[in-house]
A and B are shown apart, each in its own frame.
Chain A
Amino acid sequence: MNWAGLYTVLSGVNRHSTAIGRIWLSVIFIFRIMVLVVAAESVWGDEKSAFTCNTQQPGCNSVCYDHFFPISHIRLWALQLILVTTPALLVAMHVAYQQHQEKKLLVLTGHADAKHMEEVKKHKMRISGSLWWTYVCSVVFRLLFEAVFMYIFYMLYPGYQMVRLVKCEAYPCPNTVDCFISRPTEKTVFTVFMLVTSSICIVLNMAELVYLVVRACARRGQHNSNPSSGKGSFYGHKLSSEYKQNEINQLLTEQDGSLKDMLRRNPGLQEKGDRCSAC
């Protein structure tokens, strides 16, 4: 499991994201993960071996390095990227659950052939109902993790700048010792670069949040002014027996509302005159 594995996992989520979500994912993979792997890791590669202190006292080097760099930038960025990309998996899990429910419905209505099953897998889920809440939560968590890590960086390495020289007094260093950091300018450049891309990602997440909220309000306004409008049926099938209707009703009462959303959206799924008691 490496960054390429994460890329495969998250590419699947891409299909069910908004346009802004896709841009966010591209920025994460190209300008953050790729830059981390291809460039930043080699800059920090020799951070400990080239950390030199003006002393011959054994142990002083190690102690001072540990004092000034409790967690390396590279590890912090790796953690940040993993935590920031993981909420998208919540959405993936919810989508998989909805697809499972749709497949169950197909089996109950007697349309469990390969073609319809494939269609369930391929069609893009609409971000409405409970999926909307999951999606919004994932975006909020992303924002939270980004902000927390930016704060941690600022606390650990004030000003985001890498200094050339640090003065160390930790035991066993005799008195105050000058210690020199390797490649401080290059490290500062990459720190600022990663900071800027992190901010761009925060802005994209906020834009996505606003977009989702505005879209939900607009949809609700449309629904209130025109309650009889319904989208064309996705399946266009009919329920044929009362037994099956009861099964469906049971499914509907058990689930949280995603199926209800589906049936509300696709009135053609119900026979004329039949009532969905759980709707």
Chain B
Amino acid sequence: MDWGTLQAVLGGVNKHSTSIGKIWLTVLFIFRIMILVVAAERVWGDEQQDFVCNTLQPGCRNVCYDQFFPISHIRLWALQLIFVSTPALLVAMHVAYRRHEKKRRFRNGEKIDIEELKNEKVHIRGPLWWTYTSSIFFRMVFEAVFMYVFYYMYDGYQMPRLVKCKAWPCPNTVDCFVSRPTEKTTFTIFMLAVSGICMMLNLAELCYLVIKIFMKDSRKTT
């Protein structure tokens, strides 16, 4: 079970999304998951081995690393991507439930073409509209929460070159040097920018859905 399987699972959701939703999914897979797997994991690969402290005191390096990097960027991004892509499954479950209901009606005598049922595009209205809108809302909430967690944990989005550590068993204050700080800063800012783009797309999709529902309502009343 890895990113490939997640892609297979979410690819099915794509069919029932709006166009903005499809763009969002593409951005997620290509500019975030793929970059994470192909590039970012290598950059952070030697983060602990090459975290060097100016002391021979055993244990000082471990303790200082743990103090300055409670959760690695890579793991936070992995969790963020998992949480952000999961609300789309709510929509998939709702669509599956609707199809199940239609099949039940077919079995009870109504005439519905089963093949057509599988391929028909489900229109986003009624309760499905609410499910879809909730899923977008949750996506935005998770994105914002993770962006805040990053900011809070790492005091901004920049990776320092040097950290000064005073935790026991380090004697006095010890200089510790982070491996590849510039490359890490570049990737952090890149992931942040793409995260921002995804949030904009989600906001645009939300507005689109709301406007669409208002226009439909006003057409009905006139």
A and B are partners in one complex rather than unrelated chains: yes
Whether B65 pairs with A178 at a CB distance below 8 angstroms is no
Residue B2, interface by CB 8 Å: yes
B82 surroundings in chain A (CB, below 8 A):
30-31, 34-35, 38
A window 23-53: CB within 8 A of B: 23, 26, 29-31, 33-35, 37-39, 42-43, 46, 50, 52-53
Residue B78, interface by CB 8 Å: yes
Interface size on B, residues (CB 8 A): 32
Segment among A68-76, A96-104, A181-189, A207-215 that sits at the interface with chain B: A181-189
Main secondary structure of the interface of B (DSSP, over half): helix
Residue A4, interface by CB 8 Å: yes
Residue B117, interface by CB 8 Å: no
Contacts A29-B1, A39-B75, A178-B59 given; indicate if A54 touches B48 (C-beta within 8 A). no
Chain B nearest CB from A109 CB (Å) reads 21
A window 163-191: CB within 8 A of B: 164-165, 178-186, 189-190
Whether A183 pairs with B65 at a CB distance below 8 angstroms is yes
Residue B72, interface by CB 8 Å: yes
Q: Write the chain A residue with the least CB distance to B75.
A: A39
Whether A164 pairs with B63 at a CB distance below 8 angstroms is yes
Contacts A3-B1, A29-B1, A180-B63 given; indicate if A54 touches B75 (C-beta within 8 A). no
Query: In the complex, A33→B93 CA distance in Å?
Result: 20
Interface residues on A, range: 35 or more
Query: In the complex, A180→B97 CA distance in Å?
Result: 52
Whether B1 pairs with A7 at a CB distance below 8 angstroms is yes
A23 surroundings in chain B (CB, below 8 A):
93
Query: In the complex, A29→B88 CA distance in Å?
Result: 15
Contacts A30-B6, A54-B169 given; indicate if A46 touches B78 (C-beta within 8 A). no
Other-chain residue from B62, B78, B79 in contact with A180 (beta carbon distance below 8 A): B62
Query: In the complex, A178→B100 CA distance in Å?
Result: 61
A4 surroundings in chain B (CB, below 8 A):
1-2, 4-5
Residue B213, interface by CB 8 Å: no
Whether B72 pairs with A50 at a CB distance below 8 angstroms is no
Whether A54 pairs with B89 at a CB distance below 8 angstroms is no
B72 surroundings in chain A (CB, below 8 A):
43, 183, 186
Whether A185 pairs with B66 at a CB distance below 8 angstroms is yes
Other-chain residue from B59, B62, B79, B86 in contact with A39 (beta carbon distance below 8 A): B79
Q: Write the chain A residue with the least CB distance to B83.
A: A31
Whether B2 pairs with A38 at a CB distance below 8 angstroms is yes
**Per-position binary interface string of chain B over residues 1-13, scored 1 when its CB falls under 8 Å from any chain A CB and 0 otherwise:** 1111110010000
B126 surroundings in chain A (CB, below 8 A):
none
Residue B119, interface by CB 8 Å: no
B window 136-164: CB within 8 A of A: none
Chain B nearest CB from A168 CB (Å) reads 12
Query: In the complex, A244→B1 CA distance in Å?
Result: 49
Which of A3, A38, A178, A190 has the most chain B CB atoms inside 10 A of its CB? A38
B4 surroundings in chain A (CB, below 8 A):
4
Q: Write the chain B residue with the least CB distance to A43.
A: B75
Query: In the complex, A54→B170 CA distance in Å?
Result: 12
Whether B66 pairs with A26 at a CB distance below 8 angstroms is no
Contacts A30-B6, A46-B48 given; indicate if A180 touches B59 (C-beta within 8 A). yes
A165 surroundings in chain B (CB, below 8 A):
59, 63
20 A-B pairs whose Cβ atoms sit less than 8 Å apart in the complex = A4-B1, A4-B4, A4-B5, A19-B97, A29-B1, A31-B82, A31-B86, A37-B1, A38-B3, A42-B74, A43-B75, A46-B49, A164-B66, A165-B63, A180-B58, A182-B48, A182-B65, A183-B72, A184-B66, A185-B66
Question: Told that A23-B93, A31-B86, A52-B62 touch, could you supply 8 new A-B pairs with CB distance under 8 A?
Answer: A22-B93, A46-B49, A50-B62, A54-B169, A165-B59, A180-B59, A183-B48, A190-B75
Shortest beta-carbon contacts, A-B, top 10: A180-B59, A185-B70, A180-B62, A3-B1, A54-B58, A33-B1, A39-B78, A39-B75, A34-B1, A38-B78
